[in-house]
């Protein structure tokens, strides 16, 4: 499954593997990401520990884009 992007969908939740660019939008321009994915982000604000975790994922993806096909997030 290496390199394969997997999205998971249930009745109430869809987990989408974000590209590094989309992850940057999630951190800094959520409206742009919502438009790109044709969705509405209705979770808690991106702040505190959660924001630091996502920022760490972005940094890791930028350092070695070949190892991350996407970072899962709930939209």
The model's pLDDT over 31-44, given as tens digits with 9 standing for 90+, comes to: 999 999 998 888 88
Q: Report yes or no on 65 lying in a domain.
A: yes
- Domain presence at residue 4: no
| Residues spanned by the domain of 53 | 18-74
Contacts 24+ apart (CB under 8 A), 59-67: 61/20, 61/23, 62/20, 65/20
Domain membership of residue 12 (yes or no) is no
* Number of domains, the chain: 1
Residue 69 predicted with pLDDT over 60: no
pTM for the whole thing? Answer: 0.71
In a domain, 49, yes or no: yes
Higher pLDDT, 42 or 74: 42
Is 63 inside any structural domain? yes
Residue 10 placed within a domain: no
Q: Give the tokens for residue 41.
A: 């982000």
Query: Whose CA is closest to 23, among 58, 62, 59?
Result: 58
**Phi (first) and psi of residue 8, to 5 degrees:** -120, 130
């Amino acid at each position: 499954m290496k390199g394969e992007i997997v999205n998971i969908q249930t009745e109430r939740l869809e987990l989408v593997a974000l590209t590094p660019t989309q992850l940057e939008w999630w951190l800094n321009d959520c409206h742009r990401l919502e438009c790109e994915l044709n969705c509405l982000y209705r979770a808690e604000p991106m702040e505190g520990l959660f924001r630091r975790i996502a920022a760490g994922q972005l940094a890791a993806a930028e350092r070695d884009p070949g190892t991350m096909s996407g970072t899962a997030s709930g939209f």
